[in-house]
Chain A
Amino acid sequence: MRATFWLQRLAQLLITVFFVTFGCSLLMQLLPVSPAEVLLPVGSPEERELLTKEIGLDRGPIGYYVKWLGEFVRGDFGDIYYSGGREAVSSRLAVAFPRSMLLMIYTQILALSVAIPLGIWSAYRVGRRADKVISNTLFAMSSIPNFAIALVLVLLIGVRLQWLPTLDYQPYSAGIWEHFKHMIMPVVSLSVGLIAAYTRLLRADMIATLREDYITMATSKGLSDRRILWRHAFRPSSITLFTSAALNMGGLIGGAIVVETIFATYGVGFEVFAAINGRQYIALQSIVGLISMFYVLFNLVIDIVAGYVDPRTRDRRVNA
Chain B
Amino acid sequence: MRKKYTIPTWFAFGWLGFAVFLAVFGSFLPVDGYQVIHGDFIDSPPFTPGHWFGVDSNGYDIFSGIINGARLSVFIAVVSVGLGGAIGSAFGISAAYYRGRYDSVVNTAFNVVLSVPNLVLALALVAVLATNVDINEAVPTWRRLATLIISLTVVIIPILGRIARAATLAWSGREFVVAARSMGMRDRDIISRHIIPNVLPALIAVGFLAVGVVIIAEASLSLLGVGIPDGASWGGMLARGRNDLEYNPHALYIPIIALAFTVISTNHVGDVLRGKLDGREGRL
The CA of A25 and the CA of B256, in the complex, are separated in Å by 36
Contacts of B260 in A (CB 8 A): 143-145, 148
Interchain CB contact under 8 A, A257 and B123: yes
| B interface secondary structure, majority | helix
| A288 cross-chain contacts in B, Cβ below 8 A | 116, 120, 124
Q: Is A292 an interface residue (CB 8 A)?
A: yes
Most B CB contacts (10 A, CB to CB) among A41, A143, A254 go to A143
A residues less than 8 Å from B219 (CB atoms): 145, 147
Interface Cβ pair total, 8 Å cutoff: 128
Does A155 contact B253, Cβ atoms closer than 8 Å? yes
Chain B residues, Cβ within 8 Å of A142: 267
In the assembled complex, the CB of B211 is this many whole angstroms from the nearest CB of chain A, namely: 12
Set of chain A residues within 8 Å of B118, measured between Cβ atoms: 251, 255
Report chain A residues within 8 Å CB of B19.
none
Of B112, B115, B119, B252, the residue contacting A257 (CB under 8 A) is B119
Q: Is the interface of A mostly helix, strand, loop or mixed?
A: helix
Q: Which residues of B contact A30 (CB under 8 A)?
A: 128
A145-B216, A257-B120 are known contacts. Are A139 and B267 too (CB-CB below 8 A)? yes
Q: How far, in angstroms, from A19 to B117 measured CA to CA in the complex?
A: 15
**A13–B44 alpha-carbon span in the complex (Å):** 55
- The answer on a CB contact under 8 Å between B259 and A145 is yes
Please tell me if the beta carbons of B116 and A292 are within 8 angstroms of each other in the complex.
yes
Separation of A15 and B124 alpha carbons in the complex (Å): 20
A41 touches which one: B127, B135, B226 (CB < 8 A)?
B135
Task: State whether the Cβ of A295 lies closer than 8 Å to any Cβ in chain B.
Answer: yes
Indicate with 1 or 0, residue by residue over B249-278, a CB within 8 angstroms of chain A CB atoms: 100110010011001100110010000000
Proximity string of chain B (101-137) to chain A, C-beta cutoff 8 Å, 1 when within and 0 when not = 0000000110110011111100111111001110100
- Once A20-B116, A147-B219 are accepted as A-B contacts, the answer to whether A15 and B108 lie under 8 Å apart by CB is yes
Give which listed residue, B124, B263, B271, contacts A144 with CB less than 8 A. Answer: B263
Whether B223 lies near A258 (C-beta < 8 A) is: yes
A261 touches B131 (CB 8 A): no
Q: Is the CB of B268 within 8 A of A139?
A: yes
Q: Does B236 contact A (CB under 8 A)?
A: no
Interface presence of A301 (CB below 8 A): no
Contact of B224 among A41, A258, A281 (CB under 8 A): A258
> Assuming A19-B108, A33-B133, A38-B131, is B253 touching A291 (CB within 8 A)?
no
Q: Is the CB of A276 within 8 A of B226?
A: yes
- A258 near B245 with CB under 8 A, answer no
Cβ contacts under 8 Å, B132 to chain A: 32
Measured in the bound complex, the distance between the Cα atoms of B241 and A155 in whole Å is 11
A279 pairs with B127, CB closer than 8 A: yes
Q: A residues 270-317 with Cβ under 8 Å of B?
A: 272-273, 276-277, 279, 281, 284, 288, 291-292, 295-296
Q: In the complex, which of the residues B116, B127, B223, B238 contacts A291, with contact meaning CB atoms closer than 8 Å?
A: B116
Which of B127, B220, B223, B249 has the most chain A CB atoms inside 10 A of its CB?
Answer: B127
Chain B residues near A19 (CB-CB < 8 A): 108-109, 112
Question: B128 to chain A: which residues have CB within 8 Å?
Answer: 27-28, 30-31, 281
Q: Using Cβ atoms and an 8 Å threshold, which residues of chain A touch B207?
A: none
Q: How far is the CA of A144 from the CA of B220 in the complex (A)?
A: 12
Q: B284: shortest Cβ distance to chain A, in Å? A: 20
1/0 per residue, CB under 8 A from A, across B210-236: the answer is 001000100110011110000000000
**A-chain residues with CB within 8 Å of residue B108 when the two chains form the complex:** 15-16, 19
CA distance A298 to B119 in the complex (A): 19
Instruction: Find out whether the CB atom of A147 lies under 8 angstroms from the CB atom of B267.
Output: no
Other-chain contact of B259, A148, A159, A262, A272 (Cβ < 8 Å): A148
Given known pairs A24-B124, A151-B256, A272-B123, the reply for A143 and B267 (CB within 8 Å) is yes
What residues of chain A lie closer than 8 Å to B238, measured between beta carbons? 147-148, 151
> Once bound together, how far apart are the Cα atoms of A12 and B104, in whole Å?
11
Binding site for A on B (CB under 8 A): 108-109, 111-112, 115-120, 123-128, 131-133, 135, 212, 216, 219-220, 223-226, 238, 242, 245-246, 249, 252-253, 256, 259-260, 263-264, 267-268, 271
- In the complex, the 6 A-B pairs of residues with the closest C-beta atoms, listed nearest first: A255-B117, A143-B264, A276-B127, A292-B115, A19-B112, A143-B263
A-B contact pairs, 25 of them (CB 8 A): A16-B108, A23-B112, A33-B131, A139-B267, A139-B271, A143-B212, A145-B220, A145-B259, A145-B263, A147-B238, A148-B259, A151-B256, A155-B253, A250-B115, A251-B117, A257-B119, A258-B223, A258-B224, A272-B120, A273-B224, A276-B124, A279-B135, A291-B117, A291-B120, A296-B115
Q: 10 more A-B contacts (CB under 8 A) besides A155-B245, A276-B123?
A: A16-B115, A20-B116, A139-B271, A143-B260, A148-B259, A155-B249, A251-B117, A261-B224, A276-B124, A291-B117
